[in-house]
Amino acid sequence: EADIYQTPRYLVIGTGKKITLECSQTMGHDKMYWYQQDPGMELHLIHYSYGVNSTEKGDLSSESTVSRIRTEHFPLTLESARPSHTSQYLCASSDSQGQGEFSSYEQYFGPGTRLTVT
């Protein structure tokens, strides 16, 4: 089982509150990711990081922000939560295998945070 952790697992919060979703991994992976997933829908990449002090926005526009000060830690912050932010947020990390353009890598997911904004 992968050593990647997310807290809290469930969060119900009122509109306008600031929240931080925590994600930590103990595998020493350089790459980390945040995905958003609604019920019955595909995962959408919202942020990723190649390593410390590296963060990029993903495919899906998100009002959240991330930081990567330490290799093992990749928190996601919402400055002002809204009902439209209600979703499941999944954190993942990956290693790299192989070389060149055919390299493959395993991506390990955390258990997720189910966020409900009322």
Q: Do 6 and 63 touch, CB atoms closer than 8 A?
A: no
Are 2 and 92 in contact by the 8 Å Cβ rule? The answer is no
DSSP state, residue 85: G
Note whether 107 and 4 are within 8 A (CB). Answer: no
Closer to other proteins by Cβ: residue 13 or 45: 45
Among 14, 40, 61, 69, binds other proteins (CB under 8 A): 40
Determine, following the binding rule CB under 8 A, whether residue 47 of this chain makes contact with other proteins. no
Q: Which is nearer to other proteins, 10 or 77 (CB)?
A: 10
Separation CA 17–CA 4 (nearest Å) = 26
11 is an interface residue for other proteins by CB under 8 A: no
Interface map 56-75 toward other proteins (x if CB under 8 A):
---x----------------
Q: Tell me how crowded residue 29 is: count the other CB atoms within 10 A of its CB.
A: 23
Can you give the binding site for other proteins, defined by CB under 8 A?
A: 2, 4, 31, 40-45, 48, 59, 90, 92, 101-112, 114
